[in-house]
Chains A and B, each alone.
Chain A
Amino acid sequence: MKKFICLGLVAMLALSCYRQPRTQDHDEDYMVYTTPAEAIDFKVFQTYHVPDSLLVAGIEKDPYYVSDKDALSIIETFKGEMENCGYTYVADRSQADLGLQLTYIIFTQYYVEYYDPYWWWYGPGYWSPAYWGDWYGFYYPSAMMYTTSTNMMISNLLDLTAVQGENQRLPVVWNAIMSGPTGSSLKQDLNRLTESIHQAFAQSPYLKR
């Protein structure tokens, strides 16, 4: 009987003791994923237009547009990269070959735990028990809630030369997704986002005219 109890205990341990990697040890750069439309030739496009605001989703109940200093900084970074690729900005979107639309999303997830997650003990920006004295970790006698937030910038290049009409769909010819956990400050997030925009164009050499 004792053997079966031991075997059962080990079985439970085996199924419950999967050790996740310490993702907080990752570098702080955003993940950058880019993908072009199939068989697209970007050399046929000459001009582009980008709105002077970002669509922001995930903060308020409904998405909204932002044109503040930080949003304009991000838009200017995109414009600089588009011009490096050989495209000319036009203020009238009806005259543009390509449209660039930018969406900034924040996901926030909520968790309820009955213990302190091990990664809090080492997580940057969180209090260390050593600050208060010789303690190894925190003990939470009751359930607690915590959140994690993820930034995501989605940029789409749209083929504005495509045939328009009631049953026509607007082709998306390039997608770039930049994503990562929110940092300790807005300035840090903006710097990371700016670097990731440069990376998105660097890994899309087919955009060059």
Chain B
Amino acid sequence: MKKYTIALMMVFFAVASSFQAMAQMGKRTYSNLGWQYNVPIANDFVTHASGYGAYYQGGYYLTPSIAVGGFLSYNTNNQYIPTKTYWFEDGSALTTDLDHSLFQVPFGATFRYRFMRTMFQPYFEAKVGAVYSTQSLYFSTFMSEYSNWGFYVSPELGFTVYPFYKQDFGFHLAIYYSYSTNRNGDFDLNGLNNIGFKLGIAF
């Protein structure tokens, strides 16, 4: 029985080692690049989902599990508002249909914890940084735009898969939530909340 147990353990470690060998054994850096699908939530300005976005994030593993790095992403979310009349305090009124447009460019630092260092690498990541955002109204042939900066935080859960033998190329999938402190009194925006997912490549 003892022999079988030892043999089983040897097989297990051999398989585990082979996974490690396949998955960036000597590489301490990582990069993820791809498409981002974003949904602004909890605001009255734009709540339509949109895939007009992309991301890049990369970092360096200080230990086999913990990495630090940076990120940059962007998203545009547009929402059509059918024709209605807006009444203002001074008695003026505006009748039009319009588009609300929200553009966000967050960037900053990342802290990643990798649960497994195998071909399949799930991770948790925390992002902190700044976000530049514009909020625009398009109506008739006019456009009015406001821009602001905010502090940004975002937890992210995802994984990378390196399916190719001894290759640093793989795939990346993640879901995230983000909050930033951008404010715009004209649109009653008191912070920007988003959820979404990312689909891309890892290298």
Contact = CB atoms under 8 A, between A and B. Distances in A.
A18 B54 CA distance: 11
Interface in B69-124: 70, 72-74, 76, 78, 80, 82-83, 85, 87, 90-99, 101, 103, 105
A3 interface: yes
A119 to B, nearest CB: 12
Given A21-B78, A30-B140, A33-B92, A3 B29 contact: yes
B94 to A, nearest CB: 5
Nearest to A203: B93
Contacts of B56: 6-7, 10
Nearest to B59: A3
Contacts of B72: 7, 10-11, 14
A31 interface: yes
Contact of B103 (A6, A18, A25, A29): A18
A179 B98 CA distance: 13
Contacts of B93: 32-35, 203-204
A17 B92 contact: no
B80 A13 contact: no
A206 B55 contact: no
B52 interface: yes
A13 B92 CA distance: 40
Interface of A: 3, 6-7, 10-11, 13-15, 17-21, 23, 25-27, 29-36, 38, 107, 148, 150, 179-181, 199, 203-204, 206
Top-9 shortest CB links A-B: A21-B99, A35-B92, A31-B140, A14-B74, A10-B56, A31-B96, A203-B93, A19-B52, A19-B76
